[in-house]
Every structure is written in C-alpha cells, then in structure tokens.
Amino acid sequence: MKPIPLCWRIVLVRPRNPLNIGAAARALANFGLRELVVVKPYGPVWQETRSAVGAEEILKSARAVEKLEEAIGDANWVVGTTTGSRRTLDRHLIPLTDFARWLRRRKARGRAALLFGSEKTGLSNEHLSYCHGLVRIPTAVHCPSMNLGQAVALFCYELARSGALSVPLPAPKVDRSQPANAQSLEHVLERAARVLGHAGYFKPKTRASQLIKLRRFLLDLGLSSNDARVLGGVLAQVEWKIESAGG
Amino acid sequence: MKPIPLCWRIVLVRPRNPLNIGAAARALANFGLRELVVVKPYGPVWQETRSAVGAEEILKSARAVEKLEEAIGDANWVVGTTTGSRRTLDRHLIPLTDFARWLRRRKARGRAALLFGSEKTGLSNEHLSYCHGLVRIPTAVHCPSMNLGQAVALFCYELARSGALSVPLPAPKVDRSQPANAQSLEHVLERAARVLGHAGYFKPKTRASQLIKLRRFLLDLGLSSNDARVLGGVLAQVEWKIESAGG
C-alpha cells in the first residue's frame, strides 16, 4: 500500500474540556502525529491543559489561535469531522473506513488539517464551508456522537493504519498543481466579496450565509494554487476598475 | 467480507478512573456492543461511574465481579490487550490491524471476552495466562501506552470495521467443537493441579508461577469443549485412584 504523502495537523475548534485536549494530544503521540492547534479555547480550559502522558512535547508546541483561518491557512486539504446526525447536510459524508481511498483518488499531498468541533455542538456550518471533505465515523444509529478524545484517537489510528501519514514535510515547498491552500482561497473570496458588494449582490440579512455558500462554491471549483493566483489577479483588475469608475 | 459470528464482552480489569469506565461504555454504545464487565473496581470508582452520554443502558446492565474467572467463565475466546512494551513477553502479539484475520483463520465463533488491564499496570502475567491471543495496538515506539477509554474505542471500531461483531447470541447453545470455555478449562486445571499436588510436582515457592505455566500449556492445547470433558474425566479417575490408594 503506497503511503499518502500528507502532513497532518489536528485542529480542535472551541473544545470545552481540558481532559479532551490532553487525550487528543496523547492520541497524536500514540500514532506519530505531531501538530495540534486549538481554536478559541476557553481561557481556563487552555490553562488547565498542562499534561498528558507521553504527549508533553505535543502540548508544549501546540498553538492556540483566535480564528479558524489562522489554524488552516497553509493547508492544501481541510477535512471536517461530523456525526452527520444533527442537521441535514447537503454534502456527501465520507465514512472513516473509506477516507484513505478518498484521499488516494484525489492524489492528495501536502499539508492537511483535520477539524474537530466542540463537544456540545460539533462544527458549525461556517466551519464546514472551509472543508474539502467531511468524514463521519460509522457509529451506531442510536448513539452516533463520540467523545472528542476517542474520536481523535480513531482518526489518528485510521490515518496510521491506512498509510495516510507521512513524515513531517521538509521545507514548505509550493506545489502549484495542488489545491490552493485555505489562506489563498480566502483572499480570493475576500476579493470576490468586495467586487460583489460593489455590484449590490449581498442582502444585509443574508450576507453571512451568502458568504458561506460562496466559500463552498469556490472550494468545489477545486482551484489549484496557480488557479487561485490567476483568479485573484482577475478579480483585482475588476475591483480596480469598479473603484476607479466609482471614484 | 463474511462476518465473524462472535458475541463480544468487554472486560476492564481493576480500572482506577471512573471517567475511563464511562468512556469505555460510551465506545461500546457507539459501535453497537453491549456487554461490559468490570473486575474488582475500587469501590468509590464504581460508585462514581454513573453516566456516560448515550451509554446509560450499558452502564446499568454492566456487572462488577470480584474475580477474572467470573467475567470470562462462559467465553470460548479470551483475548488480552497489551502495549507489549513493559515486559518481555514470550508470546506472539497480534497487531490490532490483523486481529480479524487471526479470528477468521481460527474460524472463531461463540462468546468472546476482550480484556483490558488497569491504567497503571495493564494486565498481569496471570491475567494473560487466560488468553488465547494477545493483541497490540500498533502505537508509536516512543509513546506506546494508550489511554484506557481510547484503547477500548479503537478495539470497538476495529471489530465493527472488520466485520467481527455479530448480533447478540440467542440461547447459549453449546458447540462442542469450539474451544472449551474458560470455566471448564479452569476445572480441568484445578483437577490437574490436585493430581500433580499428590505427585509432589509443586514447590511451595514457585507454585503460583507453575500454575500460570500449566494454564498456558492447557490453553495452547486448543482443547474443544468435548476434549475438556474427556480430559476432566481422565483426571478425575486418576485423582480417585490416588486418593483411595493414599487413604
């Protein structure tokens, strides 16, 4: 089985229980992953997360950031995790057991971020709009929701089992044929939003959900790094035209 | 993939942390397992284990027993879990990723018990002497030991993923060609120990470790239920002869 050359980062979005952060860190260590980022942890929660057997290094180097974008900016692949039970999702859910095949079919390589939502609410629709794919653990219908630390452990195990873990990437080499990373897509989206704003596309009440749809639309285009640069340039030109005409 | 007709019981031996018992119960519920037995839990630990999201039924029907034999007596297959790191084991460790194949090769069916040791010490050599096989989660060398709740979750996931979970068994039908269950093997061992005692086989200081070796020897014979009955009968006859001669 050929390994999938991905370097994984585990991202916990707003976890509420310090024990779960510790348990997640330990699972990373158990399976040879290294990078943990926590988005907007409650202050005391983050303070209390001091140690986890064998995972001291991982916790010491773990980052806490304020926004999801900071956690995934440089990732070519962003994958969300969900039980898929609480809301009707309009997207295909990849069973965890099928995840490696999904990655292989896409010839995925580079940096990848795996997002886990908070214990209570999971990932929001906005978080999900950043994701190239959504993975679901095939749990029992009457008890679908897993404990956060256990879910992280299952993903780490499955990534290791299926050959989807690579050694840490060396120098951040840009591969322009790979999916544009989250940061450059977000730049394109911001530019597009300004242009569309000038064009009167947004309604004040639905602006947020319109942006989520646009982000999904952009993701689904499957832009490469190069595509994102080209599209960004086009939009910059349009924006300049509109602004200079308006001024 | 043909399912393996085994009905699993998860057995936690001397767990120390009530959170781990709850987490284990939740993992069972997540993957459709039902039966949890706890051997010799510390009193307060068992009292504190009141709830786990979605696993209320499992905790309510969970049994606490004093001895391992009570937890595995009716099991045709007993499997131990170990990191394999703390002592030099003289036995082959089955990687978790290979466990289903191992069960299939043995055409395993009937009742199976999966043993997890305490958080601090794992399973003792005596516990391991009851096991037909020892399974190891393929963890990283520098951080091999997993959190108990996470380890249980991985096993439940892997059993489900690999088709090694059957529906609960109906009436306890005896299949004499399957491995003798732990209880009948223990009866044979007790009888053999009495006969060997008469014969002066045991040395006072090493009796315990000699018994562990004998148990392993008996297990490795792979006796069926029928074999165990026959051997038990033979030993009873010898025992009777010795005792009547001595009296």
What would the 3-class secondary structure string for B31-67 be?
A: HCCCEEEEECCCHHHHHHCCCCCCCHHHHHHCEEECC
Is A32 in CB contact (< 8 Å) with chain B? yes
- The alpha carbon of residue B103 is apart from the nearest alpha carbon of chain A, in Å, by 19
- The alpha carbon of residue B145 is apart from the nearest alpha carbon of chain A, in Å, by 7
Instruction: Kindly state the average pLDDT of the residues B21-44.
Output: 92
Sign of CA dihedral A187, A191, A197, A199: negative
Helices A18-31 + A148-161 axis angle, to 10: 10
User: Are A176 and A44 contacting, i.e. CB atoms less than 8 angstroms apart?
Assistant: no
Q: What is the CA radius of gyration of chain B?
A: 19
B144 contacts in A (CB within 8 Å)?
30
Instruction: Kindly state the average pLDDT of the residues B52-72.
Output: 91
Interchain CB contacts (distance < 8 Å): A and B: 88
B150 contacts in A (CB within 8 Å)?
23, 26-27, 30, 149-150, 153
The number of beta carbons lying within 10 Å of the beta carbon of residue B94 is 17
B27 contacts in A (CB within 8 Å)?
146-147, 150
Is the pLDDT score of B195 beyond 50? yes
List, in sequence order, the alpha helices (H) in A40-147: 43-48, 56-61, 68-72, 99-105, 125-128
Q: pTM score, two decimals?
A: 0.82
pLDDT given for residue A169 in this prediction: 45
List chain A residues with pLDDT less than 50. Answer: 168-172, 247
Task: Look up residue B141 and give its DSSP letter.
Answer: T
Measure the CA–CA gap between A239 and A160, rounded to whole angstroms. 46
Q: Which residue has the higher pLDDT, B206 or A245?
A: B206
DSSP β-ladder status, A63-65 and B63-65 = unpaired
B114: part of which helix (H) or strand (E)?
strand B110-116
Ramachandran quadrant class, B180 (left: phi over 0; alpha: psi -120 to 50; beta: rest): beta
Q: Residue B12 pairs with which residues in a beta bridge? A: B38, B116
Output the CA torsion A51→A55→A56→A62 (10° steps). Answer: -90
Q: How many whole angstroms from its chain centre is CA B93?
A: 15
B94: part of which helix (H) or strand (E)?
strand B93-95
Q: Is A146 in Cβ contact with B27 (below 8 Å)?
A: yes
In whole angstroms, how far apart are CA A244 and each of A18, A197, A228? 52, 15, 24
User: Are B22 and B55 contacting, i.e. CB atoms less than 8 angstroms apart?
Assistant: yes
Residue A8 has, within 13 A of its CA and on its CB side, a CA count of 26
pLDDT given for residue B172 in this prediction: 46
* Burial tier of A98 (Cβ tally within 10 Å: 0-12, 13-18, 19+): middle
Paired tokens of B26: 């939740």
B146 contacts in A (CB within 8 Å)?
26-27, 30, 153
Residue B85's pLDDT band, with cuts at 50, 70 and 90, is low
pLDDT given for residue A105 in this prediction: 93
Q: What is the CA radius of gyration of chain A?
A: 19
User: Are B38 and B64 contacting, i.e. CB atoms less than 8 angstroms apart?
Assistant: yes
Is B234 in CB contact (< 8 Å) with chain A? no
Sheet with B110-116, edge to edge strand ranges: B63-65, B35-39, B6-13, B110-116, B77-81, B133-136, B93-95
Buried-state track A196-225, b at ≥16 Cβ within 10 A, e below 16: eeeeeeeeeeeeeeebbebbbebbeeebbb
Is the pLDDT score of B45 beyond 90? no
Range picked from A171-175, B154-158, B204-208, B221-225 for highest mean pLDDT = B154-158
Q: CA-based diameter of chain A, in Å?
A: 62
Is A33 in CB contact (< 8 Å) with chain B? no
The DSSP line for B165-212 is --PPPSS----TTSBPPHHHHHHHHHHHHHHHHHTT---GGGHHHHHH
Q: Is A149 in Cβ contact with B149 (below 8 Å)?
A: yes
The number of beta carbons lying within 10 Å of the beta carbon of residue A56 is 15
Residue B174's pLDDT band, with cuts at 50, 70 and 90, is low
Paired tokens of B191: 């009888």
Paired tokens of B71: 């937890």
Residue B207 has, within 13 A of its CA and on its CB side, a CA count of 10
**Domains of chain B, start order:** 6-161 (3.40.1280.10), 182-246 (no CATH)
Buried-state track B118-133, b at ≥16 Cβ within 10 A, e below 16: bbeebbeeebbbbbbb
Paired tokens of A126: 């906005």
Q: To the nearest whole number, what is the mean pLDDT of chain B?
A: 87
Is the pLDDT score of B173 beyond 70? no
The number of beta carbons lying within 10 Å of the beta carbon of residue A184 is 19
Mutate which of A21, A147, A158 to test chain B, going by most B C-beta atoms within 10 A? A147
Is the pLDDT score of B152 beyond 70? yes
B168 contacts in A (CB within 8 Å)?
none
- Among B54, B145, B161, select the one facing A145 at the smallest CB separation: B54
User: Are B110 and B7 contacting, i.e. CB atoms less than 8 angstroms apart?
Assistant: yes
pLDDT given for residue B1 in this prediction: 72
